[in-house]
């Protein structure tokens, strides 16, 4: 497989984001050292109709790469590990739909990450419950397996600080 030069390569777990908009009957503010935090409070056992339910590809790096794809003619790639499950397949197809090269995605036994994002549009805030999936256990060996897929990109975007350590492995 020939190397390609990319403007930007996203690195990190991919998530299937399930987005649920609700109108919380209560919010609660708690003061922390960092400042005030507002919490959505949903009554235990509550069965509430969502005002909206959606699905999208998520993860910080994926959000950046997909958004950039809408802004111009950029060559974009993605590096992560995904499972052999249907959600992983959906995530790959969604990235391809954004014009993102998925040659850097490793497939093996396991499952994709998933997040449930509960939002309340009236207070413009959200709570996220995540399972990072197989993409969170990438190793230096995985990086070396796909090292030749990409020439040094002009930039990278990472999902979390763990990916910075993994990225450093590329040049060791």
> Which pLDDT tens digit goes with each residue over 47-85?
766 778 899 999 989 999 999 999 888 889 998 999 999
- Residue 104 belongs to domain spanning: 8-170
Q: Is 1 a member of any domain?
A: no
SS3 72: coil
The parts of the chain modelled with pLDDT lower than 50 are 171-172
Q: Is 3 a member of any domain?
A: no
Q: Is 153 a member of any domain?
A: yes
Structural domains in the chain (count): 1
* pTM of the entire predicted model: 0.76
Residue for token digits 């995605």?
Answer: 105
pLDDT at 22: 82
Q: Is 84 a member of any domain?
A: yes
Q: Is 2 a member of any domain?
A: no
CATH number for position 22: 3.40.1190.20
**Cβ(117)–Cβ(47) under 8 Å?**
no
């Amino acid at each position: 497989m020939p190397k390609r030069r990319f403007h930007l390569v996203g690195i990190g777990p991919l998530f299937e984001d399930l987005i649920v908009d609700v109108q919380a009957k209560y919010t609660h503010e708690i003061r922390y050292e960092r400042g005030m935090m507002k919490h959505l409070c949903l009554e235990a056992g509550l069965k509430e109709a969502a005002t909206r339910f959606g699905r999208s590809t998520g993860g910080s790096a994926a959000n950046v790469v997909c958004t950039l794809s809408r802004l111009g003619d950029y060559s974009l790639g993605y590096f992560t590990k995904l499972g052999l499950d249907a959600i992983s397949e959906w995530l790959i197809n969604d990235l391809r739909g954004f014009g993102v090269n998925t040659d850097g995605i490793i497939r093996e036994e396991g499952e994709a990450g998933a997040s449930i994002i509960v939002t309340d549009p009236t207070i413009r805030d959200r709570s996220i419950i995540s399972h990072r999936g197989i993409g969170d256990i990438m190793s230096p060996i995985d990086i070396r397996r796909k090292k030749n897929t990409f020439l040094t990109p002009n930039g990278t975007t990472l999902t979390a600080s763990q990916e910075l350590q993994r990225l450093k492995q590329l040049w060791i």
